[in-house]
Amino acid sequence: MAYACTLDFNSDAFRSAAYQHYATLREAAPVFLSQPPGQLPIWYVTGAQDVETVLLDSERFARDPARISPQFAAMMGGDQSIAFLNDHMLNRDGERHRRLRRLVNKAFTLKAVNAMRPRIEQIAERLLDQAGPSGHLDVVSQYAFPLSIIVIAELLGVPAQDRDDFRRWSQLIVQQVGHDLSELQRCYAEFASYMLALIEQRRAAPTDDLVSALVQVEEDGNVLSSSELCSMIALLIVAGHETAASMIGNAVYLLLRHPHTLIQLRDSPDSMANAVEELLRYDSSVERAMVRFVTQDTELGGQRLQRGQLLMAVVGSANRDPALCAQPDILDVARPACPHLAFGKGAHYCLGASLARQELEIALNTLLRRCPGLQLEGTPESVRWRYVPNFRGPQALPVRWSVA
């Protein structure tokens, strides 16, 4: 596919027409090797069935680069001074992954997530109170990001007075692009020493929060070490912050582009839970799952893959595959939810899926109820996509509404 050789999957041009490009790839080259000059070649997998295969088969498609070789892991691991923060379950396979996942599952329970509901509602109301009188708001920076970071911080048990530092560290950890290495190292070091101190405090005097629960989880005498706890907390922040915030941005953008749907949902908030599934399917904030490493020479979608090659499972494309959902390019929030891969599949299926669903439902219902006549300021085409590889969400989403 000659045209695809020149595609830069992270460029603005690609992002604004991503779903058209993916439809072409699914049709003509569903497992496609991208080789931009000066970059590592990467296989992009765009069909639903192949994406599922990749996510389910961690024997052939690993998350842990050490399964290829120690040298390969060192090459993929980036700067060694911050490597310990990356030693978390999303970067591990097999029994090492299962042990960490079992332990965190004991702390990150549905009961704990459901208990957050009234607090998430209160946070959403407060953020709109702050912006309210003006009738103007940037949904991304004034609503979606503060909401998702406060939720994670409170769930973990970060005290309110440390929230600003926590937010600064989280943003740097998530969005490393554009910052130099020494700034990142300083930020990681501050974050790690803060978290280690918090872990020790909770060990000494546990309270009713996730850090206390994680400190106490134990299975057959097996507990999380302080360094495992620290990287687990970093993972929860990275995995739960950008994803949920960008998804609120994507969902609001979609509703503004489908005003009848917006009005239907405003008048029937009970339909929001079903609508959230369709919004996740239609434009997920996780466009591609984390990179996988091919562990053995193998075949996928008629292509020969070699051990050590990199592979991207494009969940955003799979969600628009007609094999998964009829008329996939139509946003229909009333349809019985189509199966989707927005939260991944298999061993690494999203730990925070129920929290994310709840945040989305509350954020959207509160915004629609509080902001009558909600409209985008500027044209839909003026919206730009954030530069965060693999994720998808608007950089800014300025809106206005009628104030009494």
Written as one letter, the residue type at 337 is: A
Unique residue bearing structure tokens 């690609």: 14
235 binds ligand HEM (CB under 6 A): yes
Instruction: Kindly state the tokens that stand for 154.
Output: 């409170």
Pick 100 or 265: Cβ nearer ligand HEM: 100
Tell me how far apart the alpha carbons of residues 363 and 381 are, in angstroms, rounded to a whole number.
24
Shortest-Cβ-distance residue relative to ligand HEM: 352
- Picking from 319, 243, 248, the residue whose alpha carbon sits closest to that of residue 286 is 243
Tell me how far, at minimum, the Cβ of 240 lies from ligand HEM, in Å.
3
Q: Does 65 bind ligand HEM (CB under 6 A)?
A: no
Out of 30, 240, 316, 398, the only residue in the binding site for ligand HEM (CB under 6 A) is 240
Positions in 298-327 near ligand HEM (CB under 6 A):
315
Distance of closest approach, residue 373 Cβ to ligand HEM, in angstroms: 27
Which residue in the block uniquely carries the two structure tokens 């050490």? 66
Are the beta carbons of 121 and 362 closer than 8 angstroms? yes
**176 binding ligand HEM? (CB under 6 A):** no
CA distances from 387 to 313, 318, 390, 399 (A): 19, 22, 9, 21
Residue 114 in tokens: 């459901």
The Cα–Cα gap between 326 and 319 comes to 11
Q: Which segment (17-25, 68-76, 217-225, 242-250) binds ligand HEM by CB under 6 A?
A: 242-250
Residue with structure tokens 């045209």? Answer: 3
Taking the complex as a whole, the smallest distance from the CB of residue 281 to ligand HEM amounts, in Å, to: 11
Interactions with ligand HEM, residue window 136-165 (CB under 6 A) = 152
Span of 7-15, 169-177, 317-325, 342-350 interacting with ligand HEM by CB under 6 A: 342-350
**Interface stretch with ligand HEM, choices 3-11, 78-86, 346-354, 369-377 (CB under 6 A):** 346-354
Q: In whole angstroms, what is the distance from residue 374 CA to residue 398 CA?
A: 10
- What size, in residues, is the chain? 404
- Check binding of 233 to ligand HEM (CB under 6 A): no
For ligand HEM, the closer CB: 123 or 247: 247
Q: What is the CA radius of gyration of the chain?
A: 21
76 binds ligand HEM, rule: CB under 6 A: no
* Binding range to ligand HEM, per CB under 6 A, among 161-169, 195-203, 222-230, 352-360: 352-360
Query: How many residues belong to the site for ligand HEM (CB under 6 A)?
Result: 27
Distance, in Å, from the CA atom of 224 to the CA atom of 202, rounded to the nearest integer, reads 14
From 33, 42, 290, 376, residue interacting with ligand HEM (rule: CB under 6 A): 290
Residue numbers 355-394 binding ligand HEM by CB under 6 A: 355-356
Report the alpha-carbon distance of residue 94 to residue 348 in Å, rounded. Answer: 11
344, 393, 394, 398: which one binds ligand HEM (CB under 6 A): 344
Q: Write the DSSP assignment of 80-141 as a string of letters.
A: GGGGGGG-SGGG--HHHHHHHHHHHHHHS-HHHHHHTHHHHHHHHHHHHHHHGGGTEEEIII
* Rounded Cα gap, residues 105 and 283, in angstroms: 28
Note whether 107 binds ligand HEM by CB under 6 A: no
116 binds ligand HEM (CB under 6 A): no
Assess 289 for contact with ligand HEM (CB under 6 A): yes
| Residues in contact with ligand HEM by the rule CB under 6 A | 55, 89-90, 101, 152, 235-236, 239-240, 243-244, 247, 284-286, 289-290, 315, 342-344, 348, 350-352, 355-356
